[in-house]
Chain A
Amino acid sequence: MSENYLIAVGGTGSRCMQAVIYLAAAGLFQSPMHILIIDPDQNNGDSVKARTLVTNYHALHLASQSRQAERRKRVVGWEKLPEPHLFQSALNVTVGQVNTQQSIFWHNPNPAQRRFGEVIQYQEQKEEFKKFLDLFYEPNDLEMVLDVGYRGRTNVGAVALKQDLEKTASIPGVGLREFLVKLNIDLQAKEARIFVMGSVFGGTGAAGLPTIPQLIANLPAEVMAQDNRARLRYGCAMMTPYFSFPKGSAGSTGPGTDSARHAVATQAALLHYAHVPPGYQHIYFVGAPGRPQTNSNNITGGQNQTNDSHYAELIAALAAWQFFDLPQIPMSDKQLHFADSVQDKTDVGVNWKTLPVNIANTARRETIKRELTIFTTLAYFYRNFLYDRFINGQLYREANWYKDNFGQLDLDEEMSMLQHLYEFSGAYLTWLAQIGETGKAANLQLFRWDALRETDPSLANMYVGNLLDDPLSSSTKRSQAGFDSLYARLDKLVLKQPGTNSAAGLFIFMLHHAVSEFCRENYVWR
């Protein structure tokens, strides 16, 4: 299985990365992936969130699920079950050491209080050159502390990021070198794909998007063989303005950020890219006309910068999914894809008919709907009905499905996995609910948004079979008391062999099978 490479640049890139991880958990990504978050704002709330998510994901990925499982048929005999589907894509696994995960984060070795003037050694330059530099940079830019990224200054980021990345390409343990080494190994045998995600309206993303292909192209031959570079294919999600935040004031350490400038900044960046193409074979433009507030405060960067999720990030993740799924990409390919929901001059909104990217693109649309619905139902069911009963009193011990299938396996010994699954499910449902909130103005019709945050068991029982919002799916057969209907499917599942040595893996596999069966019947999928 060929490995895919994914780079997230800046805070927006990190949020898109979160969407990718959720899609990987839901089974949309199956091939191994090597991901790297590049953010000079080392403690950025969004990238910290993405890192926590990857930790939970990796733990759940390591809980190996049943292989070649067979279930007891209703009358007599055994039938084969599909292979495991959830949490299957290995993220940043070290070659030859399946359990070890390489860093997903680019560790910037520079001191946090470094100013931009120091990066370009402004004071050491000759007076004439200083005057030349003054044409591009204001005194504010030169004094700007780079502790929280580039604060929307692309002209600053383009220089600082490129320099820093080039310096760290050969330093072990920083993240970038490991990424490049693995890529180089992969390229010796086959084609590899890199997908980059970032904003074109901010500082870090707009600076990083054109930098990545250039960085790789200019690597010394000992880091990456020249022949290998011809087997590289690039794709990117250029995030155009899709959110806003309140106006703030300039802080003591540098200028603040202003979302009102996003449109102008985008125009400037795109104009530059038009003159100097950044070298991607497939570019996906993703934005949102509504631009809702995803943060109630103006936070320049740092750990408090955690914006609410937005459907544009989901679209970006689906763009990556689509790019990795393309059968072949000729080197000469130059394609622009626009996320669009307009049909015959009417905006049909963001729904199952307009995913993954636009109306014309129907590839595996049904797969997206089904896999996201199944994963959402599983997360909802586990969070609202099972977790408490598992943790408080280990009630699974008396359950039929446990007695029938677990034999020598013991869930008691894998409580941490149950905790990881709970945290991941909770984070996913919150992420999805936020998409519902921030996308209110976009005629967003994917899930029952009001149900996702519900934790009252009796209401959740009513909602669990009605999470999907799809006018094409019949509502007549939908269960109004979903717990019984879904749990009964888990209860009657008898496997010939556990097919794994992980109790948590076996549980996730069985639950996924039960939920899939439930969704197929409940939503009348053929």
Chain B
Amino acid sequence: MSTPKLRGMHWMIWFVALMLSFPARVFSQEVVATEVLDEWFYSRLLWGVMVGAISGIVIGLADLCRLKFEFTGALHINTRARRKLLIWIATIFVLGAIILFVDAWLLYPFGILSLTFSDAVTQVWSNYRMLLVLLATIIVFVLVVAIATRFKSGCRCRYAFIPGPQGK
């Protein structure tokens, strides 16, 4: 049952929760200077891009290009390669988020600011910088995978991400 009154109440609860999280964000930002955060962001962005590129090459060439052909079903492995790429994106996203959090946790003294662990997690993961680093990593990863698989000679999924000749 979803009446207009009930929906209004839901929105109210979300709004209150958002408001409650603001003081902690503000507090954290006050403690860690914006310049320091930016410095962290740019350095991690660079690292993220590098990690995305390297893992793109490694995963593209060593895993996706070598997927096994199946003796039944389709005569190509493009669908399986795409599915596998999605799994890798999810894995990189989760791993990246954990690594970035640990990185931030070790570098900045959240502990002495009386932030609980869950507060710190919320603080780091809801920060747009964090999302940007992850996004950049994944975009570079996908691009490198697409290029590596397309141009590696004899790659089994060469047309999975960048279409090739269509035939007749």
Residues in A with CB closer than 8 Å to B74 are 395, 398
B76-A398 in contact (CB<8A): yes
Interface string of B141-168 (1 = CB under 8 A from A): 0000000000001101011000011111
| Cβ contacts under 8 Å, A321 to chain B | none
- Chain B proximity of A8: nearest CB distance (Å): 39
How distant is B109 from chain A, measured CB to nearest CB, in Å? Answer: 53
Closest residue of chain A to B78, judged by CB?
A398
A389 partner residues in chain B, CB cutoff 8 A: 75
Given known A75-B153, A398-B76, A492-B154, contact A403–B165 (CB-CB < 8 A) = yes
Q: Is A268 an interface residue (CB 8 A)?
A: no
Interface flag for A484 (CB, 8 Å):
yes
| Chain A window 397-421, contacts with chain B (Cβ cutoff 8 Å), 1 for yes, 0 for no | 1111011101111101000000000
Q: Is the CB of A410 within 8 A of B75?
A: no
Contact B154 A399 (CB under 8 A): no
A491-B156 contact in complex given A397-B167, A399-B76, A461-B71, C-beta closer than 8 Å: yes
- The answer to whether B72 has its CB under 8 Å from any CB of chain A is yes
Give chain A interface residues in 451-500, CB to chain B under 8 Å. 457-458, 460-461, 481, 483-484, 487-488, 491-492
A126 contacts the other chain (CB 8 A): no
Interface of A is mostly: helix
Contacting pair A457 B72 (CB below 8 A): yes
User: Is the beta-carbon distance between B167 and A492 smaller than 8 angstroms?
Assistant: no
Determine whether the beta carbon of A403 is less than 8 Å from that of B154. no
Residue numbers in A under 8 Å from B159 (CB-CB): 400, 403
Q: How far is it, in angstroms, between the C-alpha of A72 and the C-alpha of B155 when the chains are bound?
A: 13
Complexed CA–CA distance, A488 and B156 (Å):
7
Find chain B residues with CB under 8 A from A487 CB: 69, 75
Contact partner of B69 (CB less than 8 A), chosen from A74, A410, A483, is: A483
Chain B contributes a number of interface residues (CB within 8 A of A) equal to 19
B68 at the interface (CB under 8 A from A): yes
Q: B168 touching A400 by the CB < 8 A rule?
A: no
Complex interface: chain B residues within 8 A of A397 (CB): 167
A contact residues, total (Cβ < 8 Å): 33
| Interface of B (DSSP majority class) | loop
Task: Say yes or no: B78 contacts A403, CB within 8 Å.
Answer: no
| Across-interface contacts of B76 in A (CB, < 8 A) | 398-400
Query: Could you tell me the distance between the alpha carbons of A396 and B75 in the complex, rounded to whole angstroms?
Result: 6
A396 to B168, CA, bound (A): 11
CA distance A190 to B156 in the complex (A): 52
A402's partner among B70, B78, B156, B167 (CB-CB below 8 A) is B167
Binary A-proximity of B116-146 (CB < 8 A = 1, otherwise 0): 0000000000000000000000000000000
Taking the nearest CB of chain A, how far is it from the CB of B159, in angstroms? 6
Q: Are B167 and A457 in contact (CB under 8 A)?
A: no
The reply to whether A408 and B164 contact each other, CB–CB distance below 8 Å, is no
Q: Judging by beta carbons under 8 Å apart, are B69 and A403 in contact? A: no
Most A Cβ at <10 Å: residue of B68, B165, B167: B167
1/0 per residue, CB under 8 A from A, across B70-114: the answer is 111011101000000000000000000000000000000000000
- Residues of A within 8 Å of B78, CB to CB, are 398
A398-B69 in contact (CB<8A): no
Question: A385 in the interface, Cβ–Cβ < 8 Å?
Answer: yes
Q: Which residues of A contact B154 (CB under 8 A)?
A: 74, 488, 491-492
* Contact of B69 with A492 in the complex, beta carbons under 8 Å: no
Most chain A beta-carbon neighbours within 10 Å: one of B75, B156, B164, B168:
B75
Residues of A within 8 A of B158 (CB): 400
Query: With A74-B154, A395-B75 given, is the CB distance from A491 to B69 under 8 Å?
Result: yes
User: Nearest residue in A to B153 (C-beta to C-beta)?
Assistant: A74
Q: List 5 A-B contacts (CB under 8 A).
A: A399-B75, A400-B159, A403-B159, A403-B167, A484-B70
Binding site for B on A (CB under 8 A): 72-75, 385-386, 389, 395-400, 402-404, 406-410, 412, 457-458, 460-461, 481, 483-484, 487-488, 491-492
Instruction: Beyond the given A457-B71, A488-B154, please list 13 additional residue pairs across the A-B interface where CB-CB is below 8 A.
Output: A72-B153, A74-B153, A395-B74, A397-B167, A398-B76, A400-B158, A403-B166, A404-B165, A407-B167, A409-B168, A460-B71, A488-B69, A491-B156
- Which are the 6 A-B pairs with shortest beta-carbon distances? A492-B154, A483-B71, A399-B75, A410-B168, A403-B167, A461-B71
